[in-house]
Amino acid sequence: MTLLVVSNRLPFTVSSRDNKLVFHASPGGLVSGLTAYLEWARQDPSRTDYLWIGWPGIEVEEGSRELLRTKAAKQKACPVFLDADTMKKFYQGFCNSTIWPLFHYFPTYAKFREEDWTQYVKVNEAFRDSILKVYQPNDTVWVHDYHLMLLPKLLREKLPDIPIGFFLHTPFPSYDVFRTLPTTWRREILEGILGADLIGFHTIDYTQHFLRCILRILGYEHSFGQVLIDGERTIKIDTFPMGVDYHEIRDLAKSDDIQEEGRGLRERLGNRKIILSQDRLDYTKGIKHRLEAYAIFLDRHPQWQRKVVLVLSVVPSRLGAEQYEQMKEEIDKLVGSINGKFGTIDWTPIVYRYRFLPYNQLLSLFAISDVALVTPLRDGMNLVAKEYVASKIDQRGVLILSEMTGASRELGEALIINPNDTSEIVDAIKTALEMPEAEQIRRNQAMQTRLERYDVIKWGQDFAGKLHSIKQQQKKFSAKLLDAATREKMISDYDTSQKRILFLDYDGTLSPFKARPETAVPEKTLLAVLNALSEDPRNNLVIISGRNRILLQDWFGSLNLGIVAEHGAWIRQKGKDWVPTIKVESNWKEKVRPTLRGYEDRLPGSLLEEKEFSLVWHFRAADPELAYVRSKELADELSYFTENTELQVLQGSKSIEVRNVGINKGMAAKLLLSETNFDFVLAMGDDWADEDLFEAIPDQAYSIKVGLAKSYAKFNLRNHREVIQLLTDLYKTGKS
């Protein structure tokens, strides 16, 4: 088995120098963290090999591609070849002009251009095609980040059974922010991500935001993060806070090279307290806010002037974008202003570096820094904060951390601040600089213990283990799917039998669900199949539904078949009139109806349907989030109300029904089965009301649950389309 790791970029960047391909390691905690896990997995007894798939960072001519493939393969990588113009439009377009600002709560920065979306789709399709070229049976795919949110579904369409994990390394925004995306885009992004079997986020907040979006936009409910997609596939959405390679960072921090470089930096900066600010140039990082806070700190606490220095390290990113050029200009001016106002001949308040910083130099800065100022306005995790704490081998140093980072959920011993509250940052700087060493050690010990226990390897193990678990669960459901051998036997038994009865539920079994029940009119194709089956004299075809008898009579009355209405309250056998199955009173409706009417008023889009022996409250067309709450409230209220009565409450698919005890599909089926000795019995249904039917039919009968949910039925079909196909095959067999 090979783990195919898929990200926008490879763990290295390729450049061309003197007509030769040159490889440079890509910076960043994601690459180093993932690489650490992947190399560990290779050494583990499971021996999981990997192949990293991504763009090499350069447009490669056709004649050089094979050479790059060969060189990349030696580093366990596979390049996706795209021209530079396409990648620029993809990366600077939809990725960083739409998704990046939106997911980081800067909606006013977001641009919604159709051409950007087109490029986004195009690149995701190119990644899919590249994966399909290297994929082998039993491989697993792990897709990373917001650049490739359409990819899981695109892969699922080509390889239905492939294990796919998806992890988002940015925040996932609240529903109110996410829905600002155009309608088609937001649906396709959610559906794209839901193509994965396991979907991971850094914090519980992001997980909950995603779950709320799929409920509000797609109508998918969840149970403890587990979601049934179209009744066909169970997936899991969960939280996995990414860690760092704790022991590797510790070993590097202890090395002579890092220690020596740290001592050199300390000498150059003088005998002063050192505050470190290390970030990419990005409006989400709050660099301007912390510079303003530092200026106020120096002004408000003059005793610290000449005794402290801020090392401001800014890494260039996305150069050329107007916002970033403007931000760079603002930072330059602020630094100049602060140094000009407070600086002296022998003291510069801010030491400013605007360039890429090699990792060994960053560790050296960590080593000498008394305070780390990590105050993004919004961040998915922020591994710099974790790396700083992990690198503190003497356990001295104070982390000031924004509450808007994912890391703040785990590093509670840091000084947690609101990055928009300047006074809070100022106070935190003073507290950090004056914190006793014993308190620093206590805080860092607690955080280091946590980082060591849940490091990046444990993170990878956790995700891989959950992905394997959800695939095993899917296999359990799939084991009951009607396979080819069972299907052939069923058709053979049908063909050789002389007395057959077929019980067929309607909604969700013969027809897809509709927002309003009255619009689910049977299609011509379905009516043709039912008519063909009903005309065979050996068949007793029975539509067995919760619908009222007037509607069922209107839809199917002209066919030569039996109809069971209202879950068994009424039966119309072939060629006969409607008769009630049992005599029951319905005066209870006067007491229950006001309660259901009240909920109809409280939930716009819901409706009350009155049948002769039951009342049904439908909420499929209502707001899904409010419907979820109201349905739970109503079910509880009705259960209390109907205690010690002859009534029962049935929770169906987007409906709640109140009816008399003793009326169910199983009772009606037993009545019909008792009148003739049938040598072929088939029952098909999709919800809890059909479980009574499955229990009532003989042991040798064929029972089929539509959808992959737990059931008394012996077999499953995925959806109503497979039901129609099976009925068509039975009809054709009987005809031949």
DSSP labels for 2-55?
A: EEEEEEEE-SEEEEEETTEEEEEEPPSHHHHHHHHHHHHHHHSTT--EEEEEEE
Which residues 6+ apart lie within 8 Å of 90 measured at CB? 82, 119, 120, 122, 123, 147
* Helices 383-391, 359-368: crossing angle, 10 deg rounding: 60
Q: Across-strand partners of 264?
A: none
Place of tokens 């049976």: 137
Q: Across-strand partners of 578?
A: 572
Q: Are 277 and 312 in contact (CB under 8 A)?
A: yes
Which residues 6+ apart lie within 8 Å of 432 measured at CB? 275, 370, 371, 398, 400, 415
Residue 539 is encoded by which pair of tokens?
A: 């068949």
Which residues 6+ apart lie within 8 Å of 161 measured at CB? none
Q: Are 189 and 170 in contact (CB under 8 A)?
A: no
DSSP code at position 215: I
Taking CA atoms, 694 is separated from 668, 683, 720, in Å, by 12, 7, 18
| Encoded amino acid at 628, one letter | Y
Which residues 6+ apart lie within 8 Å of 57 measured at CB? 9, 10, 13, 14, 15
Which residues 6+ apart lie within 8 Å of 595 measured at CB? 634, 637, 638, 641
Q: Are 380 and 202 in contact (CB under 8 A)?
A: yes
* DSSP helix/strand/coil, 668: helix
Query: Which of 279, 455, 505, 690 does the annotation list as catalytic?
Result: 505
- Angle at the Cα of 328 (from 266 to 283), degrees rounded to 5? 95
Other CB atoms within 10 Å distance of the CB of residue 156: 22
| Residue 505 annotated to the active site | yes
Q: Are 402 and 427 in contact (CB under 8 A)?
A: no
| Encoded amino acid at 342, one letter | F
Q: Are 153 and 189 in contact (CB under 8 A)?
A: no
DSSP E strands, 499-545: 500-504, 539-544
- Interatomic CA distance for residues 18 and 40, integer angstroms: 36
Other CB atoms within 10 Å distance of the CB of residue 450: 19
- Interatomic CA distance for residues 504 and 507, integer angstroms: 10
Burial string for 310-330 (b: 16+ CB within 10 Å, else e) reads bbbbbbeeeeeeebbeebbee
Integer-rounded Cα radius of gyration of the chain: 32
| Encoded amino acid at 489, one letter | K
Report the 3 state secondary structure along 576-636: CCEEECCCCCCCCHHHHHHHHHHHHHHCCCCEEEECCCEEEEECCCCCHHHHHHHHHHHHH
Q: Are 172 and 212 in contact (CB under 8 A)?
A: no
Active site residues: 505
